[in-house]
Chain A
Amino acid sequence: MADSDNKLVKYWKRNLLYLVVLLSIWFLVSYVFGIFLADSLNGIRIGGAKLGFWFAQQGSIYSFVILIFVYVWLMNRLDKEYDVHED
């Protein structure tokens, strides 16, 4: 029992680590690039768009989609590693 408890604690800690990393990126692409640093990033351009503006209206959304699929992949791997996956 103690063993499996220990295993589940480790599983949960790794899950939390993934969340911290992924949510930091989530915060970075939207709030930092799209809002706080938008003015400084606007000096750089991607095509006709200023970079800060582009992150606020395009880049952050693309990043969000990628983030979720990366999370799905990481968690499926983790579930198998700790033998808590379904089926």
Chain B
Amino acid sequence: MSVQTWTFIIVGLTFALYIGIAIWSRASSTKEFYVAGGGVHPIVNGMATAADWMSAASFISMAGLISFMGYDGGVYLMGWTGGYVLLALLLAPYLRKFGKFTVPDFIGDRYYSNIARTVAVVCAIIVSFTYVAGQMRGVGVVFSRFLEVPINTGVYFGMAIVFFYAVLGGMKGITYTQVAQYCVLIFAYMVPAIFISLSITGHAIPQLGFIGKVTDGSGTFLLDKLDQLNVELGFAEYMDGSKKMIDVFAITFALMVGTAGLPHVIVRFFTVPRVKDARLSAGWALLFIAILYTTAPAIAAFARTNLINTVSNRPYSEMPEWFKKWEVTALLGWVDKNNDGVIQYSKGTAIVGKGPVQEKENGVAVRGASGEVVVTNADPANPNELYIDQDIMVLANPEIAGLPAWVIALVAAGGLAAALSTAAGLLLVISTSLSHDLIKKQFRPDISEKAELWWARGGAAMAVMVAGYFGIHPPGFVAATVALAFGLAAASFFPAIILGIFDKRMNREGAISGMVVGITLMLYYMLKYKLNYFGGGTADDWWFGISPEGFGSVAMFVNMIISLVVSRLTAPPPADVQAIVEDIRIPRGAGEAQAH
């Protein structure tokens, strides 16, 4: 059977499974819709959290990113896992004890202020929308590459699926679908990793193959060989970084704190029955995430080795099938700068601008002297002839390693599972923000349960439409704004929640001024250095040498300091609020927390 037939079968089966689960677990109350009734087992919740968290970016892009960054890729690995320690120790148990539905609920009640609640709602919606647009795009890319349909058709299909189970099932439907999606995505990630690890190093466990020796009889370690290959081609050693230490620190910290402040992750801990389950559930979630996150650097190293060995200094005519297939998608491009028909791969940019521009005649790509797709935007400044998009590394890895067709199809299903599960979690945050935090808490407090549920469904439906629109017409700033989402969460939610739990004296004035200054500072820095507003600036102008990606950590500290200073200069919070803080610090009584 062909790869395409396999892909249709496997993707079709997984989609049928998701829809089946959605029908079986329909939500009938707002509590079921928002937090799955609060009765999810910690292991189940851990799996759902893992699927919720691991997006198309984790599944498709991360290993590729690391394989080009080497040591520096560690910022993503540490940054996106270390946040769970903060979640488990500093946030999850207390927020579960607090026992409401959303992050704005906590901010609004703890700071006895509808302004604080509104600031939190706006942040939650911005963060979630930036994130969800990227997921829809990811669905489109996987569809177009593996099922050979136009990207937009893929996005429509993804929208229909998410619409079905998010609108119908709410958190309850999403939770059980996410468990299935976790199983699909982790299986799809591990199978090729194990195959490739066996073929390169002889170890069945990729984490061991990563630090093992290559089986070509030379007796050298894989990573040493990779260091050597990298240096030969003019790149930095794989195990050495090229970013400044202060920046590596700042980015890692911003990602950790941002992770702990993301509303769609936090809300998952409202779904377990008890405080101790919230703690335990964070542990399971990180364990399930760690399986993928410790495999990713191994895949990165295998893929990099395979890639260099396959393409470097080889004639184009000898290139395997996958090379030519990806060439057509313009995620790969070769420009024969010295006209010798041989691929020279080295440090430096092969082309000018973003992605290869292909020469077309009547819609058909023009072929060059060696039969390659002609790319018109070659960069004459340096000898590197090969352009590779980082996303290829995971998607093409099974093909590069020559694995059977069903494995390749499995990777497509895994990428879709990762994108859909994250999209659904985000859509739920958006719909809850609308129906619960805005409609019920601000405009119509007397709304009936049934009407609120309809608002929630309507909100989810609307959010799917908007997300789909962004998936089809991706704004140019998507890549920049995903990093912004972490910075925003770090600069706004994280300090407000932490101080709300650990500092009894923290009051409304302190929290609001901290959040507003934190977000404004973050936005300013991002707009200036990432999108060139306010006169722009280069890496030399960065404050303390910290990149926009890492600036969330600075903004977070500024937020904390301002909150602390302002709170000490203004009146302490009322006694009943101080009693709330006392109460959330003790586990007993969480079950009795008010249902609504």
Contact = CB atoms under 8 A, between A and B. Distances in A.
A61 B78 CA distance: 7
Contacts of A22: 85, 89
Given A12-B585, A50-B239, A54-B211, A64 B245 contact: no
A5 B239 CA distance: 53
B224 A48 contact: yes
A86 B275 contact: yes
B175 interface: no
B213 A48 contact: yes
Nearest to A50: B239
Nearest to B97: A86
Contacts of B280: 72
A49 B222 CA distance: 9
By size class, the interface of chain B is 35 or more
Contacts of A84: 586-588
B586 A11 contact: yes
B90 A19 contact: yes
A26 B591 CA distance: 31
B297 interface: yes
A3 interface: no
Interface in B275-318: 275-276, 279-280, 282-283, 286-287, 290, 293-294, 297
Interface string A29-63: 01100111010001000111110011011101110
A63 B90 CA distance: 17
Contacts of B275: 86
Interface in B210-268: 210-213, 221-224, 239, 245, 248-249, 252-253
Given A34-B74, A48-B223, A64-B290, A8 B88 contact: no
Nearest to A75: B279
Nearest to B246: A35
B82 interface: yes
Given A65-B283, A69-B283, A75-B279, A49 B211 contact: yes
Contacts of A8: 582, 585-586
By size class, the interface of chain A is 35 or more
A69 B282 CA distance: 9
Contact of A35 (B73, B245, B283, B588): B245
Given A35-B245, A38-B71, A53-B74, 13 more contacts: A30-B252, A36-B249, A47-B208, A48-B210, A56-B74, A64-B82, A65-B287, A72-B276, A75-B93, A79-B588, A85-B588, A86-B275, A86-B276
Interface of A: 8, 11-12, 15, 19, 22-23, 26, 30-31, 34-36, 38, 42, 46-50, 53-54, 56-58, 60-62, 64-65, 67-69, 71-72, 75-76, 79, 84-87
29 contacts: A8-B582, A8-B586, A19-B89, A22-B89, A23-B85, A31-B252, A35-B248, A46-B211, A47-B211, A48-B212, A48-B221, A48-B223, A49-B223, A53-B71, A60-B78, A61-B290, A62-B294, A64-B81, A64-B290, A65-B287, A68-B84, A68-B286, A71-B279, A72-B283, A84-B586, A85-B587, A86-B276, A86-B589, A87-B274
